[in-house]
Chain A
Amino acid sequence: MIRYLAFPLLAISLLGCAAKPFYYYGDYTKSQLNYLHEPNEETLKARCEVLDDIITHANDKSTSGRVPPGIYADYGYLLALNGKNSEALAKYNQERELYPESSVFIENMINKTNSKATK
């Protein structure tokens, strides 16, 4: 079934202007793609800034007032990839605290980070 959307971006941006979103994601997608396509210090820094922005503004820029699911975990993974293990663990714990249903996943991530550290 083919649908033709005349002004999709306009419509969606208007929606965004009208009310606060349920979750605030900032520049999540673009910064992730930039880092994925070209992983370097610059794109990493930009990515961390975006994640920090999402966390800082969860309260005032979203109706849920909550950091979206997976954000702390994503941040932790990024930090672990770049050797910042203790910071990664802190982020993982924050994810588990906010979303207890993530504990099986977080346990695995913590174990991976710890086993990398002991190598």
Chain B
Amino acid sequence: MRKLIALALVSCALAGCVPKQITKVEAFPNMYQNMPVTVLVLPPINNTTAADASDCLNTTLTAALGRVGFYSYPTTAISGILKSEGISSSEMLLNVPPAKFRQFFGADAVMYVSIDEWDTSYYVVGGHVTVGITYVMKSTTTGETLWKYRNVMKVNTTGSNSGGGLAGLIVQTIATAVKTATQDYVPVANQVNLISLNTVPFGKYHPNYGQDQSSMVVFEKNAKFDENSPRKH
């Protein structure tokens, strides 16, 4: 019996039931060797039908990157500049060598973001949004990948049940419908950024800069994916 349990546990761990976490330096050694100060986030590539998602995510990224200690460029200004230079789609930016961004913006690193999934599910008294985002940060001097993360999260958009009872349930139903339908994506975007960017080796402005190498916050599967293959649904 004990042997069976032991075997089950081992196979469970091997099967990946228990997601493996690794340290920041184990996941992203390049970044500690080539730490950028200025990071340019490009407008996200939206691979979903949720048209509002990319604008929303774009506006949250300046703050998200600033919070982990980098000089982050204001995303509206960047979008505006790119548009005036004739770059109308983010896909066009994929073909621009990272060194160009260093030349035009003085950026040490450039971050490519793609929205792979943004599905709202609504079931009367509850709702959630499934969000899938891929982030890749590359050095503008060497072109190598410094940090990358691919995350899929389910974020609850259920309205709160204030008051209880039938009246409360009705309020909750309406609140959920409003929250899910008006697609108030800002809290959703903030959440995904918070969780994902928590794995970035901190930049120079962060209080824990240079002290986070052994921080075991990185889910290995999310960090070690083939960035050249698109996310399968």
Contact = CB atoms under 8 A, between A and B. Distances in A.
B191 A8 contact: yes
A109 to B, nearest CB: 7
Contact of A74 (B55, B77, B195): B77
Interface in A74-113: 74, 77-78, 81, 99, 101-105, 108-109, 112
Contacts of A64: 205
Given A22-B207, A29-B59, A105 B73 contact: yes
B73 A70 contact: yes
A98 B162 CA distance: 46
Interface in B63-115: 63, 66-67, 70-74, 76-77, 80-81, 104-107
Contact of A2 (B153, B191, B205): B153
Which bucket holds chain B's interface residue count?
A: 35 or more
Contacts of B106: 101-105
Contacts, number: 115
A2 B117 CA distance: 12
A14 interface: no
B13 interface: no
A117 interface: no
A30 B81 CA distance: 22
A117 to B, nearest CB: 16
B59 A69 contact: no
Summarize A's interface: helix, strand, loop or mixed: helix
Interface centre among B59, B74, B77, by most chain A C-beta atoms within 10 angstroms, is B74
A69 B55 contact: no
Interface residues of A, number: 41
Nearest to A15: B194
B187 A5 contact: no
Given A4-B154, A102-B38, A102-B106, A70 B72 contact: yes
Given A12-B190, A33-B186, A36-B55, A71 B152 contact: no
B25 interface: no
Contacts of B174: none
B161 interface: no
B71 A69 contact: yes
A101 B62 contact: no
A29 B155 CA distance: 19
A99 B37 CA distance: 10
14 contacts: A1-B152, A3-B154, A6-B156, A23-B63, A30-B186, A69-B62, A69-B66, A77-B76, A101-B106, A102-B71, A104-B105, A105-B38, A105-B106, A108-B104
Interface of A: 1-9, 12, 21-23, 25, 28-30, 32-33, 36-37, 63-64, 68-71, 73-74, 77-78, 81, 99, 101-105, 108-109, 112
